[in-house]
Amino acid sequence: MCGITGYYGNKNMGKYLYNSLKRLDYRGYDSAGIATLNNGKINIKKDTGEVEQINQKHNLEKTDGKIGVGHTRWSTHGSTTKQNAHPHLSCDERFAIAHNGIIENWKDLKSQLNGHRYTSETDSEVIAHYIEEKSKEMSVEEAVKKFFKEAKGSLAVVLLDSKEEKMYAFKRGSPLALGIGNDETFLGSDLYAFSTETDKAIFFEDDEYGIIDQTGYVIKNINGEEVEKEPENFDWDQEEAGKEGYEHYMRKEIGEIPQAVERLENSLNSAQEKQVDRFVELIKNHEKILFTASGTSYHASLMGVYFLNKADIEAQTLIASEFKNYERVDEDTLVIAISQSGETKDVLDAMEYSRKEGADIASIINVPYSSVERESDVSLRIMAGQEVCVAATKTFINQIYTLLKIANKLGYQNHLEEIPKRIEKVIEKNEPKIKQLAKELKNKNDIYIIGRGDTYPIAREIALKLKEIPYIHAEGMMGGELKHGTLALIEEDVPVISLIPEKNSEIISNVKEIEARNAKSIKISPWTGPFKFPNSNSKFPFYTIIIGFLLSYWIANEKNLPIDRPRNLSKSITVS
Ligand code: G6P
């Protein structure tokens, strides 16, 4: 799962591809590369590491050419090596390809081709050799169509043909967009690839392909029939994502939370008011409400279940990758998909399954024009702006704020106005103590976090952050479940963080169980423990997760880890 980019035009090619890859590297940062066409010859520069490092080594910015493709990789098939980095070349070096997705039948396709020399262990390389082989007997376009028909799995591919001086782009499953400029054409996995250059785009649907040459572009379906597609003008008020004096994006993005919440509140009350009403109506009009999401967004969906429950509406949630195995849906079901990127393949698969069974689909996304948004009956944007750090922080808060707002409209009485200001105070008042605690926890191997009710999802989210950023094994649990097994692991000095909104006897008994085993008991609470909070139980989840975000951040900082780009992860996972 990766990011791809392509460009046909007169810009400084190397500079454009380099900048575009930097904007896409949240999709994968194991390796990156570019292929450019200059004087009839394809020139490849690729390596392992992040785009900026590769640029320093190979001077990507100083590369000429009229047509170019680029790729940033999150390894799936084949380890992280220079050979496995994209773009890949055909044997005769006529074609270069960049691919996002997984070609499930790559071995079968490979077995059809004789005498080809492969230089990587990837599933993707077969595309270049296949097109080379088949284009000996048919046109390149026919070869592309044939590949498209025979390939199984998910693919977004950009193919550079050095002989005809064209780019071909084709997609099934993985996302692909085409940007339209003045005498220039852009390709990208998403709008981030080219949104600094144009605000006009076309989104490929599954089984469509495009041919890009000096006359512009044409889009066709898999049978070769031209498809008329109206370009969309995207007015996407993006924040320019610089670090603005912070050492890491993660800390900068935590600091942006109050503004992000305010922006969301305004938008939900004005520009998105109609969508909010529609969303609420859909919930009212369906018998069964099922959330689905992955990672951090799944924890937001757990909050959604809790909030709807408070509004007297029964709902459930399930991790997207297991949705079809555990949930039965029908036309009386509303599926609510939550996804920051709007491109998570597991979520899109759960939506596709639900759609086939007749369900209606609502969604909550951050990235405008994303696939989840486009596949939904109604979609709300959380207006968090671009989040660069892989770990979601401001987007999680805006997801749960949106859910609380919806629950409010459905009858869960709750005042939201003070949230942004109070979050600001929570950061200000507690960060010095968090830094201190980070020093005490940095060498721990395991941390347990317990919560009940609306702090249970927060306990899960804190645990996820502790795994992702400081690489500490952590478990977020329901307080009541601790005694049913996990207590066996609690011994002297093992850190257990308890989330205690009020003097609630149930969670207090759990804390006693921990303390009786001499664990290192850390209480996050407005009335006990080291931290200070505004006195609001119902908004406690918003404040307590801020402590969790900052704690993960400062432990990782103590350990000198790559906070914004943790090992093995990627912000947007577009494979199943
Ligand atoms: C990846 C990211 C997680 C994220 C999850 C879901 O695994 O590393 O941080 O929570 O995807 O992403 P989504 O864009 O669907 O919210």
Mind giving me the DSSP string for 127-146? Answer: HHHHHHHHTTTS-HHHHHHH
Q: Is the pLDDT of residue 103 over 80?
A: yes
| Nearest atom in ligand 1 to 391's CA | 9
**Residue of 76, 249, 294, 400 to test ligand 1 pocket, by largest number of atoms within 8 Å of CB:** 294
Burial 393-404, CB ≥16 within 10 A → b, else e: bbbbbbbbbbbb
Which residues make Cβ contacts (< 8 Å) with residue 413, sequence separation at least 6? Answer: none
CA 331 to ligand 1 centroid distance, Å:
28
What is the pLDDT averaged over residues 499-519?
92
| Nearest atom in ligand 1 to 344's CA | 15
Burial 153-174, CB ≥16 within 10 A → b, else e: bbbbbbbbbbeeebbbbbbbbb
Write out pLDDT tens, residues 184-227.
999 999 988 999 999 999 999 999 999 999 999 999 999 999 99
Paired tokens of 232: 């969309």
Q: Is the pLDDT of residue 241 over 70?
A: no
Paired tokens of 160: 């550079």
Asked if 389 is an active-site residue, the reply is: no
What is the pLDDT averaged over residues 393-420?
95
- Weakest mean pLDDT among 18-27, 254-263, 433-442: 18-27
Write out pLDDT tens, residues 422-448.
999 999 999 999 999 999 999 999 999
Residue 183 backbone class (left: φ over 0; alpha: ψ -120 to 50; beta: rest):
left
Mean pLDDT of the chain: 95
pLDDT confidence tier of residue 1, bands split at 50, 70 and 90: low
**Residue of 250, 297, 575 to test ligand 1 pocket, by largest number of atoms within 8 Å of CB:** 297
What is the pLDDT averaged over residues 547-570?
96
What is the pLDDT averaged over residues 78-84?
92
Residue 453 backbone class (left: φ over 0; alpha: ψ -120 to 50; beta: rest):
left
The pLDDT value given to residue 572: 80
Q: Is 287 helix (H, G, I), strand (E, B) or coil?
A: coil
What is the pLDDT averaged over residues 545-556?
98
Which residues make Cβ contacts (< 8 Å) with residue 64, sequence separation at least 6? Answer: 13, 14, 36, 38
- Which residue's CA is minimally distant from atom 9 of ligand 1? 391
Active-site option among 2, 166, 171, 310: 2
CA 74 to ligand 1 centroid distance, Å:
14
pLDDT confidence tier of residue 42, bands split at 50, 70 and 90: very high
Paired tokens of 517: 């085993």
Q: Residue 418: which of 231, 261, 253 has the closest Cα?
A: 261
What is the Cα gyration radius of the chain?
Answer: 25
Paired tokens of 228: 């008329």
Cα 72 to Cα 86: distance, rounded to the nearest angstrom: 8
The pLDDT value given to residue 204: 96
What is the pLDDT averaged over residues 398-419?
95
pLDDT confidence tier of residue 234, bands split at 50, 70 and 90: confident
How far the first Cα of the chain sits from its last, in Å, is 10
The pLDDT value given to residue 490: 95
Active-site option among 220, 467, 539, 571: 571
Q: Is the pLDDT of residue 463 over 80?
A: yes
Residues near ligand 1 with C-beta < 6 Å? Answer: 294-297, 339-341, 344, 347, 390-392, 569-573
User: If you average pLDDT over each of 205-214, 412-421, 496-505, which comes out highest?
Assistant: 205-214
Go through the chain and tell me how many residues it has. 576
Asked if 2 is an active-site residue, the reply is: yes
Q: Residue 42: which of 208, 192, 158, 181 has the closest Cα?
A: 158
Paired tokens of 80: 């992280």
Which pTM value belongs to this model? 0.89
Q: Is 385 helix (H, G, I), strand (E, B) or coil?
A: coil
The pLDDT value given to residue 381: 97
Residue 105, exposed/middle/buried by CB under 10 A (0-12, 13-18, 19+)?
middle
| Nearest atom in ligand 1 to 395's CA | 16
CA 558 to ligand 1 centroid distance, Å:
25
Cα 566 to Cα 576: distance, rounded to the nearest angstrom: 20
530, 433 contact by CB (below 8 A): yes
Domains and CATH numbers, the chain: 3-233 (3.60.20.10), 257-416 (3.40.50.10490), 418-576 (3.40.50.10490)
The pLDDT value given to residue 82: 95
The pLDDT value given to residue 98: 97
The pLDDT value given to residue 535: 80
More confidently predicted of 561 and 233:
561
The pLDDT value given to residue 117: 96
Q: Are strands 200-203 and 232-233 parallel, antiparallel or unpaired?
A: antiparallel
Cα 161 to Cα 157: distance, rounded to the nearest angstrom: 13
Query: Amino acid letter at 549?
Result: F
CA 491 to ligand 1 centroid distance, Å:
33
How far is CA 199 from its chain centroid? 22
Cα 192 to Cα 9: distance, rounded to the nearest angstrom: 18
The pLDDT value given to residue 25: 85
Q: Is the pLDDT of residue 229 over 90?
A: yes
Determine phi and psi for 49, rounding to 5 degrees.
105, -175
Cα 325 to Cα 257: distance, rounded to the nearest angstrom: 36
The pLDDT value given to residue 240: 57
Give Cα separations from 484 to 447, 464, 479 (angstroms).
17, 22, 10
Residue 220's H or E segment, with its range, is strand 216-221
The pLDDT value given to residue 60: 97
CA 298 to ligand 1 centroid distance, Å:
9
4, 98 contact by CB (below 8 A): yes
Cα 333 to Cα 328: distance, rounded to the nearest angstrom: 9
**Residue of 253, 317, 340 to test ligand 1 pocket, by largest number of atoms within 8 Å of CB:** 340
Cis link prior to 457 (omega < 30° from 0)? no
The pLDDT value given to residue 238: 57
Paired tokens of 444: 């721990």
Residue 160's H or E segment, with its range, is strand 153-161
The pLDDT value given to residue 239: 56
The pLDDT value given to residue 126: 97
